[in-house]
Structure 1
Amino acid sequence: MNGPEIHLDFAPELRLFVPAKRRQGRSAVVTDGSSTLGHVVESLGVPLTEVGRLLADGREVAVSHIPAAGESVEVRAVERPQQVPGAPLRFLLDVHLGTLARRLRLLGVDAAYESEDIGDPALAALSAREQRVMLSRDRGLLHRRELWAGAYVYSHRPQEQLRDVLGRFAPALAPWTRCTACNAPLRSADKDAVGERLEHGTRTTYEVFAECTACERVYWRGAHYADLEAIVDDAVREFGAGRVCPADRTG
């Protein structure tokens, strides 16, 4: 770029995306005089999925704004909770976020997950086709234009990832209603109907069962129930006020 010089100030949450020399407050950037502000921001490493309001000399502008020489631009992070218009709130997670996908499903959140690496173009196309918010730690993926919507997952720890997504998007929670293996809804199951798929000890110990409506996996309150219940209770306590649907507590 070799044109007008502008000054950019990124919100603290966004500074991890930019080169180290630009992380300490306002910095000068030379543009080419024709690129949009959105292009300039992306060229510095920040996915537009993470960008909220853009203020040029104090006035709000769109990503299509072409900055003029001397403008001082403030790049804010996306506001939380983030509104995603146009479709029921649904997610798509890449191959690296399997644990997060299972925890979202445990809470009844629609979270599709690709267990194999199908490539960024295919993921972006799937996001657009099914109108799902793409969740990823792959910054390159979040730069793709085909995405319907996307969000960077800031932590590598599943517990923090879950809090990040729930706090950012405020999805309605319906714990214990979705298959953690395939994402389809669960239904109550009669013990006699699913008995042939159970180990003898399970048949004699438990009475309450649920079954996936798609893959037919059977659920009951087994050995890991207490750990799962703790995840659910923590999420509902912090994020479920007014957003929890009653559900059958089969785990």
Structure 2
Amino acid sequence: MNRPEIHLAFAPELRLFVASNRRAGTTPLVTDGSSTLGHVVESLGVPLTEVGRLLVDGREVPVSHVPGDGESVEVCAVERPQQVPGAPLRFLLDVHLGTLARRLRLLGVDAAYESEDIGDPALAARSAAERRVLLSRDRGLLHRRENWAGAYVYSHRPDEQLRDVLGRFAPELAPWTRCTACNGLLKDAEKGTVQERLEGGTRRTYDVFAECTACERVYWHGAHHARLEAIVDEAVREFGGAAASRSGSATHG
């Protein structure tokens, strides 16, 4: 019995995941006649987290569709901004995305981060348990069925990574409200309550402080404030949100 042949075309954004001979135009593919379209797409290297609509001869079908002989399949990229239903928008980043995690936190975005490599199964399990969107550049990790939701981070440059995530998910921005070290929420702190944790120069120079409600780390307008403020201002200008009245810094005691 002849196996069915389909004609497959990927959106330009998805072509980096597939072999070079499938990156341009529509290419034929012989299937086994029983695998779903979702399985076929994944078997070619494309994580389903990056796939939007699947069109068969122009009509939209689910990932469970079993393609038949002669069908023309168009694999579209996920639409932006992407809606994540069923939970507050929260993220989980793997061990390789520490700078991105800190920048998201700087903007007030809930971004959990594993500073050690705990393994793909544990990351996927945490994504599911806490209903967090798993961000990673590891394609294999994004293929795991346990993930609650996921997204591939397309660049290796932190500035571009941040723009990618903000543009894709449009999270609400609340700059200077999260601890960049642990993701906890910040609160205003009286100088008298934190001064014992400050070095002498800091005690003499600064009067406005914030404190993490989780790890008790202290924040003030330190040496890196101008650079961090530039990151915040650019993100708010391009993606919306309002800077909080407390203007913190990643400098701490």
- Pairwise TM-score range, normalised by the shorter structure: over 0.9
* Distance (Å, rounded) in 2 between the aligned partners of 1:43 and 1:245: 44
Map of 2:118 onto structure 1? 118
Map of 1:211 onto structure 2? 211
Task: Kindly state the Cα deviation for residue 45 of structure 1 after the two structures are TM-superposed.
Answer: 0.1
- Pick the aligned partner of 1:244 from 226, 237, 242: 242
Indicate if the aligned counterparts of 1:174 and 1:247 stay in contact, CA closer than 8 A: no
Map of 1:40 onto structure 2? 40
Indicate if the aligned counterparts of 2:6 and 2:29 stay in contact, CA closer than 8 A: yes
Indicate if the aligned counterparts of 2:177 and 2:244 stay in contact, CA closer than 8 A: no
Map of 2:186 onto structure 1? 186
TM-score by length of 2: 0.97
* Distance (Å, rounded) in 2 between the aligned partners of 1:246 and 1:234: 15
TM-score by length of 1: 0.97
Aligned partner of residue 81 in structure 2, secondary structure = coil
Indicate if the aligned counterparts of 1:177 and 1:247 stay in contact, CA closer than 8 A: no
- Unaligned runs of at least 5 residues, structure 1: none
Counterpart residue identity of residue 12, structure 2: P
CA distance 1:149–1:247, change in 2 (3 Å)? farther
Correspondences of 1:1-251 after superposition (within 5 Å): 3-240=3-240, 243-244=241-242, 246-251=244-249
Per-residue CA deviations over 1:89-111 (Å, capped at 9, x if unaligned) read 00000000000000000000000
- Unaligned runs of at least 5 residues, structure 2: none
Indicate if the aligned counterparts of 1:172 and 1:244 stay in contact, CA closer than 8 A: no
* Distance (Å, rounded) in 2 between the aligned partners of 1:52 and 1:248: 39
Task: Kindly state the Cα deviation for residue 245 of structure 1 after the two structures are TM-superposed.
Answer: 6.4
Counterpart residue identity of residue 227, structure 2: D
* Distance (Å, rounded) in 2 between the aligned partners of 1:244 and 1:63: 39
Per-residue CA deviations over 1:53-104 (Å, capped at 9, x if unaligned) read 0000000000000001000000000000000000000000000000000000
Task: Kindly state the Cα deviation for residue 209 of structure 1 after the two structures are TM-superposed.
Answer: 0.1
* Distance (Å, rounded) in 2 between the aligned partners of 1:250 and 1:4: 60
* Distance (Å, rounded) in 1 between the aligned partners of 2:120 and 2:158: 22
The list of structure 1 runs, each at least 4 consecutive aligned residues, that deviate by more than 4 angstroms after superposition, is: none
* Distance (Å, rounded) in 1 between the aligned partners of 2:233 and 2:113: 23
Is 20-29 or 105-114 further displaced after alignment?
A: 20-29
Please report the RMSD computed on the Cα atoms of aligned residues, expressed in angstroms: 0.9
